[in-house]
A and B are shown apart, each in its own frame.
Chain A
Amino acid sequence: MLNLTNRSKVVVPTELTLMERLYLPAILKGMFITLSHLFKRKATVKYPEQQRPIASVYRGQHVLKRDDAGAERCTACGLCAVACPAEAITMEAAERKKGEENLYREEKYAATYEINMLRCIFCGLCEEACPKEAIFLTDRIVPSSFTRGEEVFGKDKLVESLQERVDVTKRQTQEVLAFKQNKKHKHNQTIQDKLIR
């Protein structure tokens, strides 16, 4: 027969010796292995009190940022929904009315914005796609829930509150900023850029 590798071995069943057939030495050996594990360091991390260190660019629950004045940055362009490989993001756009300038930064805004956390794979592509620096992934962990419905996060859970702003400077590294400014990428181009082309 053709040998595919040189690692194959011919196995011959050998008769057990008397010591092996007694089984007791082997059992005792095994028991001392388990006994030694009694005194080994335990691998468990007691979660809520003790937390595993996470990467500085950990991708957890999303946040929809507001600008410095407190207006929502999202313009409901839909690029994040297009970029999302898990199709977890849906939104509905609406036009800004008069007098809502302090609420929404631009003329168009997201009336509803939902991320299905059960579908989300936390890849961060929505964040990369966003031309307005509105969506960011944070190091917060998505809380578990009793029903599937609760796992669809709407704007109430995604938009940061005015009192407690979410710090995303960790995610805004120089590379990310440079990437966002790179006009060669289609999604970074504004209408003016496209017209110039």
Chain B
Amino acid sequence: MEGMLMYKIILAVIVFAVTLGAAAYMTWGERKLASWFQDRIGPNRAGPMGLLQPIADGLKMIFKEEMIPTHSNKWLFILGPSFFMLTACLTGAVIPWGSGFNSDGIVYPMQIADINIGLLYLLGVVSIGVYGIMIGGWSSNNKFALLGALRASSQMISYEVAMGLALIALVMMTGTLSLGEIAQQQDAGYANVVYQPLGFLIFIICAFAETNRAPFDLPESESELVGGYHTEYSSMKLGFFLFAEYINMFISSAVMATLYFGGYNFPFQHELGLEGNTLVILQTSALFIKILIFIFVFMWIRWTLPRFRYDQLMNLGWKVLLPLAIANIFITGLVMFFTGKLS
């Protein structure tokens, strides 16, 4: 028991470090991909291929002058980005990063907390994530920041509904709310996306909206809102807001890979005839490859599609995705009823 606790703490630290490191290098990846899409080269001065660029960017952020507007609420102004960062990091706790590896007969699962309501925990953390933006935007005492905060909140609420309903169809199919079990179930059969293509489409669109990524980046639109909710922010507090966006992107990629694309499982993994722990390492690598592909899709779409208009955003959320999600639940129920899976 003592050893297990120690292991969990170490695992939490590792997951935290990997998340932060991945997010840092996603900023590099984003800049590289953006420039490649635009026939440019991208950062190439700091280190080979510009690989030290995230460190340079981070140092720059830290050493920039810190501004707190006079008419702002100081405590809330600091609380905003801190809370946003906190909620972004919280989600990593329930994601199964691999199946358990064996050591002296004890199985160490590669998941910090396999709580039986993992999906609900995920939805809960995502839903409170918007407070960071709202508090930050309101306490800036700036009309652009306030508009950004309002946009963020209404967008989050609108897309959370469709997201939750898309997940309900998945839960109906898998019969569990635990992410660990959902990942395990996909070992035997096909990945969930085969059964839930519509649900996945709704989920990925909602994931774009929840992470405030283009084409849903209305809360921070540079052209109309001068940066939106982080207009008044500078130095590392701005860095937190920007960085948390990348953490959110990383985590939501991991969630999509786990829920719909087989998690850490990869095709023909048992036919390879590998030893237990080697297989575990391969499985974790497979998960990370899936995550990287999703991150690529995130960036690919950002540099392809223009931003939505606000009424289009609301129409898509309430009039398209919500009915589709409900129809998806209905179809899933019908199929389960007729195939006799409804026990």
Q: Tell me, yes or no, whether A and B come into direct contact in the complex with CB atoms closer than 8 A.
A: yes
| Interface residues in chain A, defined as those with a beta carbon under 8 Å from any beta carbon in chain B | 27, 30-31, 33-35, 37-38, 40-44, 46
Q: Given A27-B305, A30-B305, A46-B44: A37 and B300 within 8 A (CB)? A: no
Q: List 26 A-B contacts (CB under 8 A).
A: A27-B304, A27-B305, A31-B300, A31-B304, A34-B37, A34-B300, A35-B300, A37-B36, A37-B37, A37-B38, A37-B39, A38-B33, A38-B36, A38-B37, A40-B39, A41-B39, A42-B36, A42-B39, A42-B40, A42-B41, A43-B40, A44-B39, A44-B40, A44-B41, A46-B41, A46-B44
Tell me whether B301 is interfacial, beta carbon within 8 Å: yes
A44 to B36, CA, bound (A): 10
Tell me the minimal C-beta distance from B209 to chain A in angstroms.
15
Question: What would 12 more interface pairs be, CB under 8 Å, given A37-B36, A42-B40?
Answer: A30-B305, A31-B304, A34-B300, A34-B303, A34-B304, A37-B38, A37-B39, A40-B39, A42-B41, A44-B40, A44-B41, A46-B44
Tell me the minimal C-beta distance from A127 to chain B in angstroms.
36
B301: chain A residues within 8 A (beta carbon): 31
Q: Given A27-B305, A30-B305: A43 and B300 within 8 A (CB)? A: no
The 9 closest A-B pairs by CB, nearest first: A34-B304, A44-B41, A34-B37, A43-B39, A31-B304, A38-B36, A30-B304, A37-B37, A42-B41
B44: chain A residues within 8 A (beta carbon): 46
How many of chain B's residues have a CB under 8 angstroms from any CB in A? 13
Chain A residue nearest to B297 in the complex (CB) = A31
A43 to B300, CA, bound (A): 20
| Interface residues in chain B, defined as those with a beta carbon under 8 Å from any beta carbon in chain A | 33, 36-41, 44, 300-301, 303-305
B39: chain A residues within 8 A (beta carbon): 37, 40-44
A31 to B305, CA, bound (A): 8
A33: chain B residues within 8 A (beta carbon): 304
B33: chain A residues within 8 A (beta carbon): 38
Tell me the minimal C-beta distance from B266 to chain A in angstroms.
24
Tell me the minimal C-beta distance from A23 to chain B in angstroms.
9
A30: chain B residues within 8 A (beta carbon): 304-305
Tell me the minimal C-beta distance from B258 to chain A in angstroms.
24
Chain B residue nearest to A30 in the complex (CB) = B304
A33 to B39, CA, bound (A): 12
Chain A residue nearest to B44 in the complex (CB) = A46
A42 to B35, CA, bound (A): 9
Tell me the minimal C-beta distance from B81 to chain A in angstroms.
31
Tell me the minimal C-beta distance from A175 to chain B in angstroms.
40
Tell me the minimal C-beta distance from B49 to chain A in angstroms.
13
B304: chain A residues within 8 A (beta carbon): 27, 30-31, 33-34
A52 to B303, CA, bound (A): 29
A40 to B40, CA, bound (A): 10
Chain B residue nearest to A21 in the complex (CB) = B320
Tell me the minimal C-beta distance from A48 to chain B in angstroms.
10
A30 to B33, CA, bound (A): 16
A26 to B251, CA, bound (A): 28
A44: chain B residues within 8 A (beta carbon): 39-41
A35 to B303, CA, bound (A): 10
Chain A residue nearest to B38 in the complex (CB) = A37
A118 to B335, CA, bound (A): 74
A38: chain B residues within 8 A (beta carbon): 33, 36-37
Tell me the minimal C-beta distance from A30 to chain B in angstroms.
5
A37 to B37, CA, bound (A): 5
A27 to B303, CA, bound (A): 12
A41: chain B residues within 8 A (beta carbon): 39
Chain A residue nearest to B302 in the complex (CB) = A34
A42 to B38, CA, bound (A): 8
B36: chain A residues within 8 A (beta carbon): 37-38, 42
Tell me the minimal C-beta distance from B23 to chain A in angstroms.
23
A34 to B303, CA, bound (A): 8
B41: chain A residues within 8 A (beta carbon): 42, 44, 46
A34 to B38, CA, bound (A): 8
